[in-house]
Structure 1
Amino acid sequence: MVFKHHPDGMFGNIRNDLHAMYGEFVGTVLFLLFALGGVQATVTNLSINNDSDGTTLQGSDAARLMGLFYISASFGFSLFAIAAIFYRFTGSIFNPNVSFALLLCGVITPVRFVLVCIAQFVGSIAASAILHGLTPGGLSVNVALGFGTNKAQGLFIEMFITSALVLTVLMLAAEKSRFTPFAPLGFGFTLFVLELFAVEYTGGAVNTARAFGPACIQGFASYHWIYCTSPTLGSLLATAFWYILKHIKYWEINPGQDSVDYKDNVHHNDAPLSDLVGRGRDRNSTGADGARDSQQNLNRNSSIV
């Protein structure tokens, strides 16, 4: 878990950190360009007033509901697609709040944390500027509180959804398991689910950089501090829970969850499954009755208690 010393010394680490920095910049630009592009396409299709009110959708109930689904899918699938590309390069963070959690957990160094955070914020601004230039009309991808959501509600919504995303990264990527190579899939689906909930009420930032980039072009709301404070609190909450899990040695509570060894199956007796199959083959020579007995014996001994 702790960042290991590079064989080339400090300068070797800095060189890798700089590579990670530009990788995170490119990855963040692509992730947010396509995710925010989905938002822009949705609000344009639903004839949204192109101002700093953000993603407040208009139209019929069915059209608005479909728009919320489209926005959520844009973020979830964009994160999965781009994270899958950059996962072996930079870890596919694209989020300063995730970077903060990785710093607290000892996965990345303070130097890399600072560099990738800079890349993520600049990448968000660049993605917003590119989208603004590529699409007609004003940019309509800013985050905003909607439908009567007050500041306290917005604060806690953003805190909890950010903590869920951060915990996903910690448990699927920082904690190594058989699912770790497929972690980008978990990132994308988690973000998709979180957006389904939060877009209606807070715009679903889940990412301080995501909120910052569009605001640089559309303008900052008086309560923009929510999108800085809440994700940071969410990072702290997820990190605290991760430390609790590590303290209680969570992997010993329900061991073998990622095992593919049949020996980890629960049987009614101690006979290995291979022996059961072997006995079944022997019984096959005795005819149909033997085959039925073999199958029944195999079923009994391989059932889950």
Structure 2
Amino acid sequence: MARPHVSESIVQLRRWVTAAAALVVVCLGARLVTFGFVHYTGVRQTVLRSGEVDGTLRVVDGAGKAAPAAVAKRAGLRGGAVQGGAVNETGVEVNRVQSAGDLRLAWVTRMSGAAGIVGACGLALCTLLGAVVAGGASVQGVERATKSAVWAWLVMFLCLPWETWGSLFPVPGAFAPYEVMTGWDQNVEIGLAGSLGLHMRYVMLPLALLVGTLLVAWWFHTGVERGVILTTMSEMDEAIEREMANIRKRGVTGGAAGTGRAITALNRTIADGSPTVAPITLDVPASLMRGDGDGRRPI
């Protein structure tokens, strides 16, 4: 049976678990979105094109020898801008630089990474405390709370960027810095790394952790549900409806065990220290009793 102080503790921990899980889910979603922009779009870089150079382009070859572009083309001198085997006489310059979108993506990645690490650590601590409280109070369903705590610590371990903190744990965390993400993406573009590993780390791992976080929150809520005292009529009605649905599903062949389970929803609303109902006694007048005291009714 639920106890008031245990119920209040579980309610508080359940709220914190919900908030931490929501924070982790949002941050993982933000990490997926930023990776999509980094890998599948060119928003990180912009191309700067200069105008045509006025005057004749002079190509320098050797120690201080200078010649006009037309002369250099006939003489076959090296240097100058070559396009298709011909010297470019216009002198067009093309540069790729970081855009403002790259700065925004870096800011979103850093903020989501910091918030996600805090949320993952908070989720692991709150689920562990919830499992300890539920186990100490012998709450029915504590095995689910324990499962949620174990998986929450695994989620936290995979979220932390271990490889950026040292070479002791070469584990690619889901909230790795932005520079690591862009560096790996550039290695894939130039062929130094495979695309499969990139997608496993920045797509499959965040998706798996997102689903795992939702499961942790669900396991914790269902595991500590029996330790919460119902305080509103809507909660009581919902609990009674669930019990009645279970009774209709099982039938009425449960005997005393089925009867005891059917009234569980009502018993949860009563604390251990609540007063019990005194038995009703009936005083029989002495005039209705026979003198011999055998308790039989008079004729």
Structure with the bigger percentage of helix:
1
Q: Pick the TM interval, shorter chain.
A: under 0.3
Larger Rg: 2
TM-score (norm 1): 0.27
Q: Name the structure, 1 or 2, with higher relative contact order (CA <8 Å, separation 6+).
A: 2
